[in-house]
Amino acid sequence: MFERLDITEKRYLQLEEELQDPALASDIKKYTAIMKERKSIEKIVEKYREYKQLQSSIEELKELSKDSDPEIREMAEMELDENKARSASIIEELKILLIPRDPNDDKNVIVEIRGAAGGDEANIFAADLFRMYQKYAESKGWKIEITNSQPTGLGGFSIIEFMVSGEAAYSFLKYESGAHRVQRVPVTEANGRIQTSTATVLVMPEADEIDAHLDMNDVRIDIFCASGPGGQCVNTTKSAIRVTHIPTGIVVSCQDGKNQHDNKANALRVLQARLYDKILQDKLEAEGKERLSKIGRGDRSEKIRTYNYPQNRVTDHRIGFTLQQLDRIMEGKLDPIIEALIQEDQKQKLSGEESKF
């Protein structure tokens, strides 16, 4: 482990030297790549330096613990015990930091939520999930921008797509992809019977030019009127944008921006993210790994999490984690679930298991 840490620190110093090269100012791609790599190992280097400083202090305290003055010896031994405990704690932190990092963790994300099985109630649940993520993002200081939505009656969405911008957004939200199941009495149910419905969530890292090159010659752009529920036109100008990537057939629509220019920019950002996601999935297939769908078909059996309203319970089925705090979760207090998922992911990677996420 310490050999790896030494190599990482040397690489960090090398990157800092490269950043001092004046010629780098004219090569934006190279500059961006160096900055990304530097940032990816910065925490490891800082923690390793803290560990080495602590080890120097431990050696000094060992000498002081042999001092002829009993008060100095006692003070040194107390500090020595504290430093040894801190040193052991830092080693555990370093083990986690050395886990191969998802290169997308620092990226912004693009999220798509769709009503799936359950008709109107599934669409209402999709809207509830959107509000949950909106409040979670607010608690993290992240910014949310809706790029496309198809509202339905009773305040639901058949689909809503939005971008989340903020520090390490993907590292937290990447665990949310999958089918989410709700159990409750719908507002549409006159007899008070509990119904089970689902909505699917897809989380993609925002891509940049380095990740996925988008050739505009491969893109067809169509302009149309934005529309509200039931096809009602919400404005009289053609501001909504539909972009089609001809080689792959990927289609993205954006209509929630302030104008045609904003919608076009957002549509291209979403398209680039979808292309990057396709590149990642193709890479997994090329490496011979079985590709599991992130969101499935939205069937009730293909669930990652259940939200049970009568019992105020939420259960994440991937890790068997249950909380009797559904009301808080729906208010955006997602940290207990996200933290449990992160810890399980780290545990699997430390033990050499293939992560289930």
C-alpha closest to that of 161 among 136, 130, 198, 131: 130
Pairing of strands 195-205, 157-165: unpaired
Q: Name beta bridge partners: 110.
A: 163, 204
Structure-derived torsion over alpha carbons of residues 45, 47, 49, 52, reported in degrees to the nearest 10: -130
Q: Within a 13 Å sphere around the CA of 224, how many CA atoms are in the beta-carbon half?
A: 13
Q: Where are the domains positioned within the chain? A: 2-97, 103-357
Structure tokens at 67: 């001092």
Q: Which pLDDT value is given to residue 302?
A: 65
CA angle 130, 282, 200 (to 5 degrees): 20
As separate numbers, helices (DSSP H) first and strands (DSSP E) second, the chain gives 8, 11
| 178-184: strand order across its sheet | 143-151, 157-165, 109-115, 195-205, 178-184, 305-308, 313-316, 321-323
Structure-derived torsion over alpha carbons of residues 224, 230, 235, 240, reported in degrees to the nearest 10: -30
Tens-of-pLDDT digits for all 357 residues of the chain?
A: 888 898 989 999 999 999 998 888 888 888 888 988 898 889 999 999 999 999 999 998 898 888 888 888 888 889 998 989 999 999 988 888 887 777 788 889 999 999 988 888 999 999 999 999 999 999 999 999 998 888 987 889 999 999 999 988 999 999 999 999 999 988 777 677 888 999 999 998 888 765 667 778 777 887 877 665 444 444 455 678 888 888 888 888 888 777 788 888 888 888 888 888 877 777 666 655 533 444 444 455 568 999 999 999 999 999 999 999 999 999 999 999 999 998 888 888 777 655 555
Q: Which pLDDT value is given to residue 301?
A: 53
Q: Tell me, what amino acid is at 287?
A: E
Residue 281's contacts (CB-CB under 8 Å, 6 or more residues apart) are: 291
| Distance between CA atoms of residues 88 and 23, nearest Å | 43
C-alpha closest to that of 133 among 121, 117, 144: 144
Indicate the angle between helix axes 28-64 and 2-19, nearest 10 degrees.
Answer: 130
| Distance between CA atoms of residues 225 and 342, nearest Å | 42
Backbone angles phi and psi of 172, in degrees to 5: -95, -45
Q: Which pLDDT value is given to residue 233?
A: 45
Radius of gyration of the chain (CA): 25
pTM, full prediction: 0.68
SS3 (DSSP) at 50: helix
Q: Which pLDDT value is given to residue 291?
A: 39
Q: Tell me, what amino acid is at 257?
A: G
| Distance between CA atoms of residues 356 and 249, nearest Å | 30
Quickly tell me which residue has 């078909």 as its tokens: 297
Structure tokens at 56: 């120097």
| Distance between CA atoms of residues 278 and 249, nearest Å | 12
Residue 120's contacts (CB-CB under 8 Å, 6 or more residues apart) are: 152, 153, 154, 156, 186, 188
CA angle 200, 206, 210 (to 5 degrees): 145
Residue 78's contacts (CB-CB under 8 Å, 6 or more residues apart) are: none
Structure tokens at 311: 């019992």
In CATH, the number for domain 103-357 is 3.30.70.1660
Are 125 and 74 spatial neighbours (Cβ–Cβ below 8 Å)? no
